[in-house]
Amino acid sequence: MTAPPSPSDSTQEAEPPSGVGQRLITGFGVGGFALVAIFTFPPLAAFVTWLVVFVLAASEYAAIVRHWAPSAPLRSLLIWVPVAATGGAFVLLQEPSERVALATALGLGFGLVAIAALTTLFGKCDVREAAVSMGFLAFGIPYFAIPPIAMYRIHMVDAWLVFLLVAIVAFGDSAAYFVGRKIGRHKIAPRVSPKKSWEGSVAGFLAGILTMALWAYFRLGEVHNELLALAAVTAVTGQLGDLVESLVKRGAGVKDSSNILPGHGGFYDRLDALILATPVFVLGLWFLGFEAYVPK
């Protein structure tokens, strides 16, 4: 693929001004749509919106990993991801007890294994690719289904928490990209993503913490240390999510997941950090107590 590089690749290399301008225009468009969805859509409509976007990312993921298993029924992710996400959202609406939640988690875990196995078994997959197929399905379903469920959970509490999550990831990603592009010298994982640098990573980490501090000050009137810690963990996890996608693409020899978003690549490119950061952020808020961070 020859689409423009994704901003998730922090780099110090020069880039034509037109490429930066294209990236900014697309970024403002995507950001504007996200703000509309966060603050004007009711939680259920927002959930459907996020689910559609993550299913599109799953489609790009399926196209990439087909490199290793051409006969695998990977397009089934377009069915199983929304089924799993809808089921998870339904469970959330029931406000299950701890015992029911544990039983549901165990049941979903077993169901995931069964789905991956049976879909491969009856999907006319070459037996030599069966194990790879099951691995990609078992990984891909929760990978893309959990984030919209988690975003739905915090949207039910307060839309500003969804905004905070997206802001931590987006500002951290932008800081990592621009700082890495200017002064990045020390590479994090050159075999996986040659353009990502420790300098950019530190900038993204600090940007995530600063975003949380500003949000807490203006939204809550005070900055809680535990929230700064949560922002730090979320920022780090987001960068790991970025590297995970780079690992997948590098192995398949793919530069961008698609070229549907000019200057940004594809949906998977834009969501890679959010995919891992979202469940970590929501689990952290759950541990700290959601309502404690909503203005009275």
Are residues 198 and 188 in contact, defined by beta-carbon separation less than 8 angstroms? Answer: yes
- d(CA 20, CA 196) in angstroms, rounded, equals 17
- d(CA 57, CA 53) in angstroms, rounded, equals 6
pLDDT, one tens digit per residue, over 147-167 is 999 999 999 999 999 999 999
Are residues 235 and 209 in contact, defined by beta-carbon separation less than 8 angstroms? Answer: yes
Token couple for 44: 């259920």
Of the chain, the percentage scoring pLDDT greater than 70 comes to 91
Surface-to-core class of residue 203, CB atoms within 10 Å of its CB (0-12 exposed, 13-18 middle, 19+ buried):
buried
pLDDT, one tens digit per residue, over 174-203 is 898 888 888 878 888 888 887 888 888 999
pLDDT, one tens digit per residue, over 76-96 is 999 999 999 998 888 777 766
Predicted pLDDT of residue 296: 67
Rounded average pLDDT over 73-77 = 96
Are residues 140 and 62 in contact, defined by beta-carbon separation less than 8 angstroms? Answer: yes
Predicted pLDDT of residue 193: 83
Query: How far apart, in Å, are the Cα atoms of 254 and each of 2, 10, 189?
Result: 9, 17, 17
Confidence at 25, pLDDT banded by 50, 70, 90: confident
Are residues 96 and 294 in contact, defined by beta-carbon separation less than 8 angstroms? Answer: no
Of the chain, the percentage scoring pLDDT greater than 90 comes to 61
Q: Does position 122 have pLDDT exceeding 50, yes or no?
A: yes
- d(CA 273, CA 195) in angstroms, rounded, equals 16
Are residues 248 and 257 in contact, defined by beta-carbon separation less than 8 angstroms? Answer: no
Q: Which residues pair with 187 in a beta bridge?
A: 197
Predicted pLDDT of residue 99: 72
Confidence at 143, pLDDT banded by 50, 70, 90: very high
Confidence at 16, pLDDT banded by 50, 70, 90: very low
Q: Does position 128 have pLDDT exceeding 90, yes or no?
A: yes
Predicted pLDDT of residue 226: 94
Predicted pLDDT of residue 72: 96
Query: How far apart, in Å, are the Cα atoms of 189 and each of 105, 117, 162, 195?
Result: 34, 33, 30, 9
Predicted pLDDT of residue 19: 61
Query: How far apart, in Å, are the Cα atoms of 198 and each of 9, 54, 169, 181, 247?
Result: 12, 28, 17, 11, 17
Lowest mean pLDDT among 12-16, 179-183, 225-229: 12-16
More confident residue, 21 or 221: 221
Are residues 292 and 183 in contact, defined by beta-carbon separation less than 8 angstroms? Answer: no
Q: Cα 249 from chain centroid?
A: 15
pLDDT, one tens digit per residue, over 232-270 is 999 999 999 999 999 999 889 888 888 888 777 899 999
Predicted pLDDT of residue 29: 84
Helix or strand (DSSP H, E) at 195: strand 193-197
Query: How far apart, in Å, are the Cα atoms of 62 and each of 2, 81, 140, 144?
Result: 18, 12, 8, 11
- d(CA 51, CA 110) in angstroms, rounded, equals 23
- d(CA 177, CA 23) in angstroms, rounded, equals 12
Predicted pLDDT of residue 116: 95
- d(CA 6, CA 173) in angstroms, rounded, equals 10
Predicted pLDDT of residue 255: 87
- d(CA 67, CA 252) in angstroms, rounded, equals 6
Are residues 254 and 6 in contact, defined by beta-carbon separation less than 8 angstroms? Answer: no
**β-strand 193-197 against 187-189: which pairing, if any?**
antiparallel
Mean pLDDT of the chain: 87
Maximum alpha-carbon separation in the chain: 59
Confidence at 4, pLDDT banded by 50, 70, 90: very low
Q: Does position 17 have pLDDT exceeding 70, yes or no?
A: no
